[in-house]
C-alpha cells in the first residue's frame, strides 16, 4: 500500500469531548485533514516540542528519546495504519544504528506523534484511513489554514491576559514552565508572539 505523508497543522481544545484535544494532521499533497482526539498530557507533550519550550525536567516522551539516543535507536517513521470504531492505531518504525534491521513497535497515535516531533521523523497513513476519517476543508477554511503558519497551535486565552504587559507575560511564562504547567505556558507564549508580531 502506498503511504501518504501527513503534517501537523493544528492542536486545539476538543469541542466534543471535555478535557480532550483535537490534533489535526494534513495530507501533504492534498486537501484532506485527519482530526484525532487525544488526551491533555499528550497534547502538552506535542505542544511544548512544537513551540521549542524546554521543560525543567524531561517529560516521558523526552525520556524515551534520551533512552533511544543512548542506545543508538532511531525512529525512522510513524505510520497510522488502522482505524477501528473511531480509534486510530499507529506504529513506530525503528532502526538500531549499524544493524540495518527495522523493528515495528505498536503505539497509541498520540504518543507516536509526540515522538515523531522529537525524532523529526515523517508521519504517514494509508488511503483507506484518509478515505474513512479524512475531511476536506471548504475554500474559506482552506485559505485561513494556508494563511496561518504550519504547526500553529490555537488555544484559548485566559481571561485577563490582555491586561498584562509583556514583562508580566514573560514572568508568568517562566513561572508556568518552572511549575510544569505547559498548557498555561502555551497560552502565554501565543500571546507574547501575537504582540511581538503586531509591534514588528
Boundaries of every domain in the chain: 3-154, 157-200
The domain 3-154: what is its CATH number? 3.10.690.10
Query: How far, in Å, are 128, 136, 146 from residue 139 at the CA level?
Result: 24, 9, 10
Query: How far, in Å, are 92, 150, 172 from residue 142 at the CA level?
Result: 30, 12, 34
- Residues with Cβ within 8 Å of 53's Cβ and at least 6 positions away in sequence, in order, are 47, 177, 182, 185, 186, 189
Q: Which residue has the cell 476543508?
A: 137
Q: Using alpha carbons only, how large is the chain's radius of gyration in Å?
A: 18
Q: What is the pTM of this model?
A: 0.69
pLDDT (tens, 9 = 90+) of the chain, 200 residues, equals 799 999 999 888 776 677 788 999 999 988 899 999 998 889 989 999 988 888 888 889 999 999 999 999 999 999 999 999 889 999 999 998 888 889 999 999 999 999 999 999 999 999 999 999 999 876 545 444 444 444 444 433 333 566 677 888 788 878 777 777 777 777 778 788 887 877 76
Check residue 94 and give left, alpha or beta (phi > 0: left; psi -120 to 50: alpha). Answer: beta
Amino acid at each position: 500500500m502506498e503511504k501518504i505523508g501527513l503534517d501537523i497543522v493544528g492542536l486545539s481544545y476538543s469541542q466534543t469531548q471535555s478535557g480532550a484535544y483535537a490534533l489535526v494532521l494534513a495530507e501533504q499533497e492534498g486537501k484532506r485533514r485527519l482530526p484525532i482526539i487525544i488526551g491533555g498530557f499528550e497534547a502538552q507533550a506535542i505542544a511544548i516540542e512544537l513551540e521549542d519550550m524546554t521543560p525543567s525536567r524531561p517529560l516521558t516522551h523526552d525520556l524515551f528519546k534520551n533512552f533511544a539516543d543512548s542506545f543508538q535507536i532511531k525512529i525512522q517513521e510513524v505510520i497510522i495504519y488502522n482505524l477501528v470504531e473511531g480509534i486510530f492505531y499507529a506504529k513506530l518504525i525503528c532502526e538500531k544504528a549499524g544493524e540495518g534491521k527495522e523493528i515495528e513497535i505498536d503505539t497509541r497515535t498520540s504518543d507516536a506523534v509526540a515522538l515523531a516531533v522529537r525524532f523529526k521523523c515523517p508521519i504517514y497513513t494509508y488511503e483507506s484511513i484518509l478515505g474513512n476519517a479524512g475531511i476536506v476543508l471548504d475554500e474559506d477554511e482552506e485559505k485561513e489554514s494556508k494563511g496561518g503558519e504550519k504547526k500553529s497551535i490555537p488555544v484559548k486565552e485566559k481571561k485577563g491576559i490582555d491586561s498584562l504587559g509583556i514583562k508580566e507575560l514573560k514572568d508568568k511564562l517562566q513561572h508556568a514552565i518552572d511549575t510544569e504547567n505547559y498548557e498555561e505556558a502555551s497560552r502565554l507564549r501565543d500571546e507574547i508572539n501575537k504582540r511581538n508580531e503586531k509591534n514588528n
